[in-house]
């Protein structure tokens, strides 16, 4: 898969940010810079505690607030510089940014049907396609995979899904099979250029967070 991984063990911990109010309201979030909600902050803290014993060498985050805040919560146990990486930002949803899902289904049903049928190449009006997102996000993975160790990536749903499709050698048409929940963690180990998903979309640490009121 990647020659730079040959002969060494590389671990990637893929983390999705905690909940925002737009997540709860089922609004299209994309590149809008929305902070964590109260519940999202509690989720990030629980996620951080679940990772406190992990030896992490590098933390890289999307520059969007919700990802940075999640990375900062995790970093309270690791004291590393958090490296911002714009190519880990969420899919640019263009004209749909901030729109409620219900409104999209009512007024843009034909577009959503085309996207469901061909998620890889359909471009968001005024935004980008999943293929474009995958290209920039995978470039981050290639850039950080030059040395052994454990890197934590704090990012977003579609961003992480496109990375996982690449790792699992899946076509983007099957992207819905690798959906990740808010404040989830996924561990991938690479050895001799091949990726192995050790655990996927782990949210066991979030027990009790649903009681936090936004």
Round the average pLDDT of the chain to a whole number and report it: 93
Tokens 């999202």 — which residue? 40
* Phi and psi angles of residue 153, each rounded to the nearest 5 degrees, phi first: -110, 120
* Low-confidence winner among 1-15, 93-107, 143-157, 165-179 (lowest mean pLDDT): 1-15
DSSP secondary structure code for residue 122 in this structure: P
Residue from 17, 78, 156, 205 carrying the catalytic annotation: 17
Note if 211 is an active site residue: no
pTM: 0.94
Q: pLDDT (tens digit, 9 = 90+) per residue, 49-85? A: 999 999 999 999 999 999 999 999 999 999 999 999 9
Residue from 78, 85, 90, 156 carrying the catalytic annotation: 90
The domains of the chain, with CATH numbers, are: 3-211 (3.40.50.1240)
pLDDT of residue 5: 47
Note if 17 is an active site residue: yes
Share of the chain above pLDDT 70, in %: 96
pLDDT of residue 2: 56
pLDDT of residue 192: 75
Work out the burial of residue 36: count CB atoms within 10 Å of its CB; fewer than 13 is exposed, 13-18 middle, 19 or more buried.
buried
């Amino acid at each position: 898969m990647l020659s730079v991984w040959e002969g060494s063990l590389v671990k990637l911990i893929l983390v999705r940010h905690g909940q925002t109010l737009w997540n709860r309201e089922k609004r299209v979030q994309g590149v809008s810079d929305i902070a964590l909600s109260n519940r999202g902050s509690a989720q990030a803290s629980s996620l951080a505690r679940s990772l406190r014993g992990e030896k992490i060498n590098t933390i890289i985050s999307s520059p969007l607030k919700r990802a940075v805040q999640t990375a900062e919560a995790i970093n309270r146990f690791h004291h590393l510089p958090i490296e911002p990486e714009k190519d880990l930002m969420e899919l640019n949803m263009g004209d749909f940014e901030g729109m409620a899902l219900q409104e999209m289904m009512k007024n843009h049903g034909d577009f959503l049907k085309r996207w469901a049928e061909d998620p890889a190449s359909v471009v968001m009006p005024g935004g980008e396609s999943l293929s474009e997102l995958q290209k920039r996000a995978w470039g981050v993975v290639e850039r950080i995979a030059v040395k052994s160790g454990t890197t934590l990536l704090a990012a977003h749903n579609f961003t992480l899904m496109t990375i996982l499709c690449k790792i699992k050698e899946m076509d983007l048409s099957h992207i819905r099979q690798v959906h990740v929940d808010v404040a989830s963690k996924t561990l991938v180990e690479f050895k001799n250029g091949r990726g192995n998903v050790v655990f996927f979309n782990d949210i066991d640490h979030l027990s009790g967070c649903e009681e936090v009121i936004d």
